[in-house]
Amino acid sequence: MRKILVAGNWKLNGSLAGNEALVSGILAGMSNVQNADVAVCPPYPYLPQVRDLLSGSAVKLGSQDNSEHEQGAYTGEVAAPMLKEIGCHYAIVGHSERRSLYGETDAITASKFEAAQKAGLVPILCVGELLEERENGTTEEVVARQLDAVVDLVGIAAMANSVIAYEPVWAIGTGKTASPEQAQAVHEFIRSRIAAQDAGVAEGLQILYGGSVKPDNAAELFAKPDIDGGLIGGASLNAEDFLGICTAAN
Ligand code: PGA
């Protein structure tokens, strides 16, 4: 039985005071969260602050990205070993905003995934189609390409130590959620593609859904057999909403 994971992606939001209020709000409600693992992914400069705020709790820390490089002359980059050293457990890689706004290709995403794992982080690999790709019927082709780029680089066994997040780009931050049936169909596709290479890895793999998950649609999504939690953007910035999603797994 796979456990539900709810991870908050704070994106480019936060401040020392705001983070403190948000984390204390989340921690205050954690005793009601019975069936979900929980993580938050703040912007880089706040990782040590949030790590300290989370200390002693079950909530894990994650980054929103990591460099594909380990060290060297890469101005502005943050390396996976640094994130590990500072206390991260997870690292989001290949988020659609990184892909679309910063030109990150499947190959770069795969290298970032590999770098995260090499440093001992658990990568949360984001995949998902654009609206036009859904409309022209190439959703599975796109998701397969994004997935294969990683599996081909790291090998199927390495996928056991990762999380996948299916995030249809047209549902991110738009208030438009994929229906539970639409999401389930893609999650099933992802799992079966992994299963074609290793059934055991596929069975254990947490596949999260992301894209306008809110407290009022989370339970229906998480009830689907291949949806193992959520990657939450907007609703992760409000403690009550985030907790409402975490308790949807109860
Ligand atoms: P959203 O973002 O929940 O605001 O749609 C999800 C994501 O980008 O991970």
Residue 55 is part of a domain; what is its CATH number? 3.20.20.70
User: Catalytic: 187?
Assistant: no
Q: Is the pLDDT reported for residue 17 higher than 90?
A: yes
Domain that holds residue 168: 4-247
> What are the pocket residues of ligand 1 if the criterion is a CB atom closer than 6 Å to any ligand atom?
9, 167, 172-173, 210-213, 231-235
179-222 per-position pLDDT tens digit: 999 999 999 999 999 999 999 999 999 999 999 999 999 999 99
Question: Do the beta carbons of residue 47 and residue 63 sit within 8 Å?
Answer: yes
User: Catalytic: 167?
Assistant: yes
Helix, strand, coil percentages, rounded to 5, for the chain: 50, 15, 35
Q: Is the pLDDT reported for residue 175 higher than 90?
A: no
Q: Using CA atoms, how far apart are residues 23 and 116, in angstroms rounded to an integer?
A: 25
Instruction: Give the distance (Å) from ligand 1 centre to CA of residue 174.
Output: 9
> Span 36-56, mean pLDDT?
98
Name the percent of the chain lying above pLDDT 70: 100
Question: Do the beta carbons of residue 177 and residue 211 sit within 8 Å?
Answer: yes
Q: Please, which pLDDT band fits residue 177 given cuts at 50, 70 and 90?
A: confident
Q: Is the pLDDT reported for residue 1 higher than 90?
A: no
Count how many domains the chain has.
1
Q: Using CA atoms, how far apart are residues 179 and 208, in angstroms rounded to an integer?
A: 14
Instruction: Give the distance (Å) from ligand 1 centre to CA of residue 48.
Output: 23
- CA nearest neighbour of 42 among 7, 69, 84: 7
Angstrom CA distances, 109 to 32, 52, 164, 198, stand at 36, 29, 13, 22
Q: What letter represents residue 157's amino acid?
A: A
**Tokens at 25, concatenated:** 């709000």
Q: What is the DSSP letter of 228?
A: -
- Residue from 167, 177, 238 whose mutation best tests the ligand 1 pocket (most atoms within 8 A of CB): 167
Instruction: Give the distance (Å) from ligand 1 centre to CA of residue 156.
Output: 27
Question: Do the beta carbons of residue 247 and residue 204 sit within 8 Å?
Answer: no
Q: Please, which pLDDT band fits residue 39 given cuts at 50, 70 and 90?
A: very high
Q: What is the atom index within ligand 1 of the atom nearest the CA of 92?
A: 9
Residue-level pLDDT at 205: 98
Instruction: Give the distance (Å) from ligand 1 centre to CA of residue 21.
Output: 21
Q: What is the atom index within ligand 1 of the atom nearest the CA of 231?
A: 9
Beta bridge partners of 61: 40
3-class DSSP assignment, residue 25: helix
Q: Give nearest CA residue, ligand 1 atom 1.
A: 233
Question: Do the beta carbons of residue 7 and residue 90 sit within 8 Å?
Answer: yes
Mean pLDDT (the chain, rounded): 97
Name the percent of the chain lying above pLDDT 90: 96
Cβ neighbours for 87, distance < 8 A, ≥ 6 positions apart? 47, 48, 51, 61
- CA nearest neighbour of 40 among 230, 182, 201: 230
> Span 115-142, mean pLDDT?
97
Q: What is the atom index within ligand 1 of the atom nearest the CA of 236?
A: 3
φ/ψ (deg, to 5) at 204: -90, -10
